[in-house]
Structure 1
Amino acid sequence: MFWVGWAKHEIEIQPQGYAMFGYGMWSHRAYEKRTALFARSFSIRRSDSEQPLLFCCLDLGCITYAMREGVVKALTEKLNGQFNPQRLVLMATHTHSGPGGCAYEALYNMPTPGFVPEHLTAVIDAAATSILNAIQSEQQTEIFYQTRQFPHHTPVAWNRSLNAYNRNPDVIHRTEAETHLALNREMQLIGFYREGQLSGFISLFGVHATCLGNQLNAHDGDNKGYAAIQSEAYLLRQGVPNPVAIFAQATAGDVSPHFHGPKQNIIRSRIKGEKQYQYAQQNGRYQSELAIKALTESLEKREVHQNQWRGGGPMKLNGGIDAILSYVDLSQVEVPSEFSQVPYRVRTSAACHGVGFMGGTPVDGQGAAKPILKILTLLSRQVRKKRLADINAPDYIKYKALYESQFPKDIVLESPDNRLLGKHLDFSPSVFDPLIAEMNRQVKAGAIQTSPLVPSVIPLQIIQIGPLALVCCPGEITTTAGQRLIQTVASQLTVHQRISMTALVSYCNDYMGYITTQEEYQEQAYEGAHTLYGQWTHAAIQYKFQYLASQLLLDESQRKFDQFTHPAKIPQHEIDLRTNHGNVKTAVR
C-alpha cells in the first residue's frame, strides 16, 4: 500500500495577444480562453518519513529549465528540506494552444515575442500549489499498472513522417494507407484506487496535441486536456471527490492526431473553425474511454502477481520508490560503438536547426514555402563549402567535426555561436518576416550576446515505483527511437529482479527538440532537422540513460553519477532585454 495524494490548480494566465507556443508562428496569438489550463499533480510515497515522488503535468507546449528551476526553488522553501529534486517530474501535454514566453533561452520565445515573466510566474505558482496540495491530500492508496492497445480502427493517431519511419530496419514497413499502424498504439496506465474504486490515474500515450490548428486564437488544452476533463467528469459522477487524471505524452515525435495518407491536405482542410474543437474533443474522448475502460475492470482481474504479468493485464505495484536525475551536456558526448553501430569514434555537436525545421510538418503545421526552402538549402550548402574549402583555416577542424556530426543536415541556425546561415543573427533583411525582425531587435539590443538560442545541458531522469521504471525524456522522441530507448533501459534494469517493466514519458523537465533514430535522421524531414545535436543524438541518449539505469540499481550511497552539471546561468540583463514588460500590443503591431 502506498500513500498517494493528488490535486490540480489552474494556470492563471489571461490571454493578452501573446503568441502561443508550438507552431512557432508570429500570427498564432491568444485573445481568448477556450478551456482552463491546469497543473495536475500526484504525490507518492511509502511512509511519512520518506520523501515523495512528485508528478506534475502542465497543459503547456513544453517544460523549460526556467519552469523547473522555479518550481524546485518554491518546493525547497515550502517543504523545509523534505524535498528531493531528483524525485520531481514536470511533464507537459504539448498542447500547441498554450502560452509561450516561459524560457530563458532565446529561440522558442521569438514569436511570443520575447520572455514574459508573468507567464513564467503563473506556471510556477500553479505547479507548486498543485504539488503542495497533492502532498496534503495523501491517503492510503493501491496502485495498479497496465497497458491497453487502441483498436486499429480507432482514428486516434497517424505517423506523419512515414518515409523516415520506414528507414528503420527494425520496423514493419508501412504504406500510405497504413500510417495509423506506423506507431505505438499502446497506452500505459498507472491507476490509483481507494477502497477498490478508481480515483485517479496517469495515462501515457504518444500523439501530438495539434488537433487545433495555427489559425485559432484561444488558449485550449487540446486533445490531452479534453481527455483529462472528460475522465475527471466521469470519476466525479462515480462519487470520487476531487479526481485528477493526467494524460501525458510518450512517443509522440512522429505521431499526429490528423490523418496522414492519400489526400491528407484535402481531408485536413475540411476541419476548420469550431470543427477543430469538436475534433480535439473527440480525440480526447478516444483516449479517455480507453483509459477508463481498462482501469475500471473488476478488482479480481487486478489481483495479478508480479511474476505472472506478461503485459496488457493489470498488475498491482508493490515495493519501494526511487528516482535518479542527472544533467548531461548533449553537445559534446562521445558515443561508444555499442550505440552508434559504427567502428570509429563519433560525437554529438553544438545544437543546429536544419532547413527541414523551417519547412514544418505536413498537415499539422506547415512552415516556409518550397521555393524559400530551396534557397535556404542552397545558401546553407554554400556556407558549408566555404567553411571546408581551406584545410589550413583556423576553424577548419571545428567545422569539419560539426558537419560530420550533423550530416546530412543543411544547417540554418547554430547555437551557441548564434549564427544564421553562417552569419551573425542580425544580418538578415527583416522587412518581410516579423520573426526575423524580432530576432534582429533582440540581437541589436544586446539580448543574445552570451545566451544560447536553445539549451544543450539537458536533464535525464528515471523513476521507480515498485517493479515499474519510468524513463523521463526531455524531448519529442519518435516511435522507433522511443522503443529502442525503452529496450536499452529495460535490458539494464531487468538484470535486477525488482524492476520488470519499463515505460517512457516525454516532454519532461526541459525541452531539447526532437530525438530521431540515426536512420530517420538521414531523411531530414522536420523531425530530423529538429534533432539538434546531430545524427548521433539518439545514440547519446541511449548511452547516457543506460548508465543512469545502472546507477539506479545501486544503493543510493554507492551511486556515482554527475550531480553537479547544470545549465549555465543566463545573464539577467539579457533576459530583461528580451522581456516585453507586458507591452505586447506595441511589439506585434
Structure 2
Amino acid sequence: MKKPIKIIIWGLSAGLVLALAAGLGVMWPFLTYPQTTVSIDRLAPLQVPAQEQFMAGIGVRDITTPIGIPKMGYSAWARQADGFRTRLKARAFYLKPVAGEPMVVIQADLPASSLLLLRKVSEAVARQTDVAFHNISLHATHTHSGPGQYLSSDFYNIFGSDNPGFDPDVFEFLVSQIADAVIAAFQQQRPAKVAIGTQSIYGVTKNRAMGAYVKNNNVAGKQQNDAAALRAVNPQLTLVRIDGQTDSGEFKPMGAFSTFAIHGTGIPPFTHPYHGDVWAFFERDLEQRIASHYQPPWQPVHGPFEANHADNNPNYRKGMRGDSETRRIGLALSDQAWQIFSSLDSQLTDQVRITTAQRELDLLDPVSDPDKLLCERAIAGTAIVGAAKDDEVFPVSYIPWFQRGWPDSGERDCHREKRWMLSGLQQWALAPSRYPHKLVLHVFQLNELLLVGLPFEITLEAGNRIGKAVTKVAPESVEQVVVSSHSNGFFGYSVTDEEYSAQWYEGGHTLYGPRTTEFLARQSARLVKDMSLQPGLSEMPESWAFSLVSRHFFPQERKPEGQRMQVRVPRFVAGTVDTEPYWQWDYVDVATSDMELHQPLMQIEASADGEHFTPLMSGAFQPVSDEGYDMQIRYLEDLQHGMSRYQLRWYNPQVAIPGQWFRFQVAPRSGLAEITSSAFR
C-alpha cells in the first residue's frame, strides 16, 4: 500500500476514533447516571383580606452552597468551588397594591435563572403567602462564579459546568433558602411607597461582539474599535426604590431592586471561589450608603439583576481582569445608583398600580410557534466551544470551525449559517427534550415601568427590537420598557438575524435559530397586549414533572473529632498594579461538610491594646465581615480526625494605624467554640 493512502486511512481512522470518543463523552451521563424526577403542583395561594394602602416587604436569605459544587458559566473551563470571596444572596421584594394581586420579584446571585427552581419555590410559598404562581418572577445576576446543577434541562446541567448532572441537594437547598426569603418578605410587609428612576451610564461596559453587532442593518457606523465598543452598549440603569413605614410613622428606605446590562464575567475562568462578580460590590456598597445616609431601623436591601446584556461585558482594563477591576466597576455602578436613589426622595408615592401576565409555552409543541419562526429543535453551534471574546482558551478557541466568525456558507437547514457542534452526532445523541424547551414569558407593569422578563441572554440590538415591538402596544402610562435577560429560566442566547449570520459565540449559542429574536418580539408584544385586556393573565399547566440526569456533589459527611487551631500567624501581602493587598491566615477547622457557608462565619476585630477586642466597623453601621465584599475563605486540604485546613483573607485592610491591633474571628461550628487568630498590625 502506498504511503499517501496509508496516511489517508490513518487520518480517517483517527477521525472516527475522535468522533466515537466525543459521542461517548456526550452520551456517558445519559447511559450511566440515574434520573431524578421533580414534581410540582400549582397550588392556590392564601386568601388574605384586602388592605387600604400599598404594602411592601423585603426578605433576604444566603444561597452560598457548600464547597465542592461545580460552578456554572464557563462550562468546561469552570472549576468546583473551594470557598467564597463574596457570599451569594437571594432577595425577595413583595409588592401589594390596594387594587389587584400582590407580586414578588426575586433577585438571585446565580449564574442563570431556572424554571424548575421558580415553580418549586412558588409551590413552597403558596400555602404561606397570598402570591399566585403567575405573580412570581425569578431574575439572576448571571455571575459566572456561582453554583450550577439546578437547572431545568439536561443540556445546561451537563454542559454548563465542568462536571455533569442535576444535583437534588443543590436544588433543594436553593428552593428552601429562596422560599424562606419570599415568606419573610410577605410576613414583614408594611405600608410603603415607591419611586422609579433611571440614568444612562457609559464607561463601565463594552460590546464584546462588535464583529457581529456591525452586521445589523440599522447600525450606521461599522467601526469595530475600542471607542465604538464603549458606545455599543445598553447604558440604562433602572432602579425601583421602596420605602417602608417605621413604628413611629415616618417612611424610611427599605431598599431597591434595579436592572443593568453587564455580564457577570469580571472574574475570569479557572478561578475557584464563589463570587458575586461586579454585582456583589454594586449590591453591598449601595446598601451601606443607604444605611449610612438614612439610618433606617432595618438593614436596607439592594437586589440588582440583568437587563439585555448578552454582548455587554464589564469594561475591565486590558491585562487586569480579576478582583481589583471587578471591584472598581461594581463601585462605579454603586456611585451612579446612589445618585438615582437619593434623587427620588421627593418622588415617592403610595399610589401604586401593578399588573402582571405570564404565559408558558412548550417549544416542542408546534402550536407554540404559529408563525414557524423557530427551528424545530435546538442545536448548539461550534462557536460555543470557541468561547466568547476575551474568554478564549488556547488552542481550541483559535481552531477553524470553533473560532468565532466562522459561519457555514450554505443554508442547508433552518439553522442556516450555524456549524453544528459534533455535526449529526449532536442530533443523534441529544434528543430535543434534553434542551430547554419549556419557555416562560413574564411581564409586569409597576406604575410607569414595564418589565419584560425572558429566559435568554439578549444582545443589545435584539433587546432594542423586542423593546420597540412591546412599546408599540404598551399602555399610554408606560414611560420606560426594560427587557430583562435571565428571567424564569435559561435558553441560551437571542441575537438578531444579522448577528446570527456572523456566528460569533452569541450566535452559535442561539439554540433555536436565526429568527429567535423575531419570535420573542412577537410573543412579548402579544403578552403585553393581552395583559392590558386581562390583568393577571395566567396561562400555565396545573402541574409539572421534570426528569433530569442527576449526580450528588455535596461534600461527604465527616464528623469533626479534632480541634480548631492556628497553623500560621497572619501575614500581610502587599498589593500590585492589578491585585489587592490583604492579610492572610491559615487555620484548621471542621470539614467542608460542616462549614455551612450560608451561615455567618468570619469577621475582623480591632483593639487599641492588643488584648481587648471588639468588632471592627466599616463606617458607623457595617462590621467588617463576610457579609461585605472584602473577606474570603478557601479550602486547602483535608486532614485527619474530620478536620480540614483553610485560608482566610482580609482584602483592602486598614494598615499602618498607630496603636491599632486586629485579628480574625471565626464563629462556632459543629459544637466547636469560636476561634481567633493571633493579633496583628
2:343 partner SS: coil
1:49-60 to structure 2, matched below 5 A, reads 51-60=101-110
Instruction: Give yes or no for the alignment of 1:286 onto 2:342.
Output: no
TM-score (norm 2): 0.67
Cross-structure match for 1:440: none
Match of 1:328 in 2: 361
Match of 2:149 among 101, 120, 134: 101
Aligned to 1:404, what secondary structure does the other structure show? Answer: coil
Give the secondary structure class of the aligned counterpart of 2:76: coil
How far has the Cα of 1:566 moved from its partner?
A: 7.9
> Contact 2:58–2:254 (CA<8 Å) still a contact in 1?
no
Deviation, 1:467, is 3.0
Answer yes or no: is the 8 Å Cα contact 2:407–2:418 preserved in 1.
no
Asked if 1:404 is matched to 2:423, the reply is no
Q: What is the alpha-carbon distance in structure 1 between the residues aligned to residue 543 and residue 432 of structure 2?
A: 15
Equivalent residue of 1:352, what SS?
A: coil
Q: Contact between 1:485 and 1:542, CA under 8 Å: does it hold in 2?
A: yes
Query: Which residue number in structure 2 is paired with residue 458 of structure 1?
Result: 439
Give how far 1:523 is off: 0.8
- State the AA in 1 paired with 2:218: D
What is the aligned partner in structure 2 of residue 184 from structure 1? 234
Point out the structure with the larger strand share.
2
* Cα distance in 2 for residues equivalent to 1:321 and 1:524: 40
Matched, 1:564 2:541: yes
Figure out how many residues of one structure are paired with residues of the other and give that number.
491
- Contact 2:199–2:238 (CA under 8 A) maintained in structure 1: yes
- Is 1:139 matched up with 2:203? no
Q: Deviations over 1:528-577 (max 9, x none)?
A: 111110011111111111111111011349x6x7433987x343xx534x
> Corresponding residue for 1:555?
534
What residue is the counterpart of 2:459 in the other structure? Answer: 478
The answer to whether the 8 A contact 2:100-2:355 is kept is no
Contact (CA 8 Å) 1:19, 1:25: kept in 2 or not?
no
Matched, 1:575 2:575: no
Contact 1:101 1:114 (8 Å CA) reproduced: yes
Aligned to 2:60: 8
Q: Which residue of 2 aligns with 1:44?
A: 95
Residues 456-484 of structure 1: CA distance to partner in whole angstroms, max 9, x if unpaired?
12100101212321111111000111111
Cα distance, 1:78 vs. partner?
2.7
Q: Deviations over 1:402-450 (max 9, x none)?
A: x532111111269xxxx6355436xxxxxxxxxxxxxxxxxxxxxxxx7
TM-score normalised per structure 1? 0.77
Unmatched segments (≥5 aa) in structure 2:
1-52, 245-249, 558-591, 593-681
Identify if the C-alpha distance between structure 1 residues 297 and 499 changes in structure 2 by more than 3 Å, giving closer, same or farther: closer
CA contact (8 A) 1:254 1:479 kept: yes
What does residue 285 of structure 2 align with?
Answer: 230
What is the aligned partner in structure 1 of residue 522 from structure 2?
A: 543
Distance change in 2, residues 1:54/1:479 (3 Å): same
Residues of 2 paired with 1:477 and 1:96: CA distance? 16
How far apart, CA to CA, are the structure 2 residues paired with 1:499 and 1:146? Answer: 13
Give secondary structure in 2 for the equivalent of 1:225: helix
Q: Which residue of 2 aligns with 1:429?
A: none
Kindly tell me: are residues 298 and 211 of structure 1, through their superposed partners in 2, closer, same or farther at Cα, counting changes over 3 Å? closer
Q: How large is the RMSD of aligned CA atoms in angstroms?
A: 3.0
Structure 1 residue ranges, 4+ long, deviating more than 6 angstroms after superposition: none
| Greater helix content | 1
SS in structure 1 opposite 2:468? helix
Report the Cα distance in structure 2 between the residues aligned to 1:506 and 1:324, rounded to whole angstroms: 17
User: Structure 1: where are the runs of 5+ without partners?
Assistant: 260-266, 304-315, 337-344, 386-399, 426-449
Deviation of 1:34 (Å)? 1.5
Aligned 8 A contact 1:330 1:348 in 2 = no
* Contact 1:352–1:413 under 8 Å retained in 2: no
d(CA) in 2 for partners of 1:372 and 1:64?
33
Deviations 1:299-340 (A, max 9, x none): 44x37xxxxxxxxxxxx584421211111234545465xxxx
Q: CA deviation at 1:527?
A: 0.4
Letter in 2 for 1:229: R
Residue number in structure 1 paired with 2:605: none
Offset at 1:581? 7.0
In the TM superposition, 1:49-448 aligns within 5 A as 51-79=101-129, 82-110=130-158, 111-150=162-201, 152=202, 154=203, 156-173=204-221, 174-177=223-226, 178-194=228-244, 195=250, 197-238=252-293, 239-240=295-296, 241-258=298-315, 268-271=318-321, 276-297=322-343, 299-300=345-346, 302=347, 318-330=351-363, 332=366, 334=369, 336=371, 346-364=373-391, 366=393, 369-370=396-397, 372-374=399-401, 403-412=412-421, 420-424=425-429
Contact kept in structure 2, 1:258 and 1:364, CA below 8 Å: no
The 2-side partners of 1:140 and 1:380 are apart by 56
Change over 3 Å in CA distance of 1:258–1:106 after alignment to 2: same
> What amino acid does structure 1 have at the position aligned with 2:549?
I
Does the 8 A contact of 1:191 with 1:295 survive in 2? yes
Q: For the residues of structure 2 that align with 1:581 and 1:246, how far apart are their CA atoms?
A: 27
Aligned to 2:508: 529
Shift of the 371–479 alpha-carbon distance from structure 1 to 2, 3 Å rule, reads: closer
Q: Report how far residue 169 of structure 1 moved.
A: 2.3
Q: Secondary structure at the match of 2:57?
A: strand
Measured after TM superposition, the shift of residue 380 of structure 1 is 11
Q: Deviations over 1:41-81 (max 9, x none)?
A: 1100114x8542101111110011221122011012333xx
Shift of the 180–371 alpha-carbon distance from structure 1 to 2, 3 Å rule, reads closer
| Aligned match of 1:467 | 448
Structure having the higher Rg: 2
Q: Give the residue type in structure 1 aligned to 2:287.
A: E
> How many percent identity over aligned positions?
23
CA distance in 2, matches of 1:161, 1:566: 40
The answer to whether the Cα contact below 8 Å between 1:145 and 1:188 also exists between their aligned partners in 2 is yes
